[in-house]
């Protein structure tokens, strides 16, 4: 049965989609069968992997509102071991739909939708939007664990308490097994004092929640131009620039996740 990992942070632009795509690609390169679930109406994970709107008719939105089965929307990507359940802008309507349909267990729609295919994948990685609304709640409701990317910039830790609070509430209600897999510092720049400050703060308050590589060093995703360029080629940084520092960070993250099981 697959482990479901949701990538979440209600702050925008912190590296959620980048982490979703590149962690998934790194796990797939290690021979694991991976499904990305793009649960963000911005569709960035879907586009990052080279899909455009005309490439697919149905998407995760149709699954959540109950008119398609998850297996009917999954697309193989051009990369081995990597599939995606794409998103669509229609997802923004989901909030309204949730209330109109007044569905029972509406926080668990994604969890229930993924259930029938969980044996087909080693990991299901869910990208979530920059909000703590119903889509993110569904993404966290479905997850075994959550990875929280933290951008190494000013205000990095702002809003974190609210996110942790939400996770704790979910643990007490709809998802008792939810754990925080770790915080992932992203866009780190060694020349930048602020970057170092954020990392110091994180290691002070959340030391046991930072990922360690096999030499017990913190895994930190550097600010790296190859990471920023790769989506425009419809590739993860693993294919686009395997030896870049950005790729190495995500490969190390995948190795740590595999090692920790």
Q: From Mg ion, ligand ATP, none, which one binds at residue 12 (CB under 5 to 8 Å depending on kind)? A: ligand ATP
11 binds Mg ion, rule: CB under 5 A: no
Nearer to ligand ATP, 172 or 243 (CB): 243
State the binding string over 34-73 for ligand ATP (x if CB under 6 A, else -). ------x-x-x-----------------------------
227 binds ligand ATP, rule: CB under 6 A: yes
State the binding string over 193-222 for ligand ATP (x if CB under 6 A, else -). ----------------------------x-
Tell which positions 41-100 bind Mg ion, by CB under 5 A: 44
Q: Distance between CA 216 and CA 213 in Å, rounded?
A: 5
- In the complex, minimum distance from the CB of residue 39 to Mg ion, in angstroms, rounded to a whole number: 10
Contact with Mg ion (CB under 5 A) among 17, 88, 186, 236: 17
13 binds ligand ATP, rule: CB under 6 A: yes
136 binds ligand ATP, rule: CB under 6 A: no
Whether 241 contacts 230, CB under 8 Å: yes
163 binds ligand ATP, rule: CB under 6 A: no
- In the complex, minimum distance from the CB of residue 189 to ligand ATP, in angstroms, rounded to a whole number: 9
- In the complex, minimum distance from the CB of residue 176 to ligand ATP, in angstroms, rounded to a whole number: 27
Within the chain, what is the greatest distance between any pair of CA atoms?
Answer: 52
24 binds Mg ion, rule: CB under 5 A: no
Contact with ligand ATP (CB under 6 A) among 15, 86, 182, 185: 15
Whether 90 contacts 75, CB under 8 Å: no
Q: From Mg ion, ligand ATP, none, which one binds at residue 228 (CB under 5 to 8 Å depending on kind)? A: ligand ATP
Task: Annotate the chain with DSSP letters as a single string.
Answer: -PEEEEE--SSTTSSHHHHHHHHHHHHHHTT--EEEEE--TT-HHHHHTT--GGG-S--HHHHHTTSS-HHHH-EE-SSTTEEEE---GGGGGHHHHHHHHT-TTGGGHHHHHHGGGGGG-SEEEEE--SSSSHHHHHHHHH-SEEEEEEESSTTTTTTHHHHHHHHHHHHHTT-TT-EEEEEEEESB-TT-HHHHHHHHHHHHH-GGGB-B-TTSPBP-PBP-HHHHHGGGGT--HHHH-TTSHHHHHHHHHHHHHHHH-
Contact with ligand ATP (CB under 6 A) among 116, 228, 233, 259: 228
Contact with ligand ATP (CB under 6 A) among 6, 94, 223, 257: 223
Q: Which of these, 7, 13, 6, 11, lies nearest to 132 by C-alpha position?
A: 11
2 binds Mg ion, rule: CB under 5 A: no
Residues that bind Mg ion (CB under 5 A): 16-17, 44
């Amino acid at each position: 049965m697959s482990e479901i990992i949701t990538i979440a942070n209600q702050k925008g632009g912190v590296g959620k989609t980048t982490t979703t795509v590149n962690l998934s690609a790194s796990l797939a390169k290690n021979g694991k069968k991976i499904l990305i679930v793009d649960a963000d109406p911005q569709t960035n994970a879907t586009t990052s992997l080279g899909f455009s709107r005309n490439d697919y008719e149905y998407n995760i939105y149709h699954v959540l509102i109950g008119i398609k089965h998850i297996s009917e929307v999954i697309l193989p990507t051009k990369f081995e071991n990597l599939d995606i359940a794409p998103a669509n802008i229609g997802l923004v309507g989901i909030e309204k739909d949730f209330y109109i349909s007044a569905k029972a267990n509406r926080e668990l729609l994604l969890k229930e939708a993924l259930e029938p295919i969980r044996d087909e994948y080693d990991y299901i990685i869910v990208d979530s939007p920059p909000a703590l609304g119903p889509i993110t709640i569904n993404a966290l409701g479905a997850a075994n664990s959550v990875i929280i990317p933290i951008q190494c910039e000013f205000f990095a830790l702002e809003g974190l308490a609210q996110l942790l609070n939400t996770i704790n509430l979910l643990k007490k209600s709809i998802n008792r097994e939810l754990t925080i897999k770790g915080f992932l510092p992203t866009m780190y720049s060694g020349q930048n004092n602020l970057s170092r400050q954020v990392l110091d703060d994180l290691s002070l308050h959340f030391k046991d929640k930072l990922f360690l590589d096999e030499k017990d060093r913190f895994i930190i995703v550097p600010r790296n131009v190859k990471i920023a360029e790769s989506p425009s080629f419809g590739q993860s940084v693993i294919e686009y620039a395997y030896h870049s520092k950005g790729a190495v960070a995500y490969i190390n993250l995948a190795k740590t996740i595999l090692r920790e099981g």
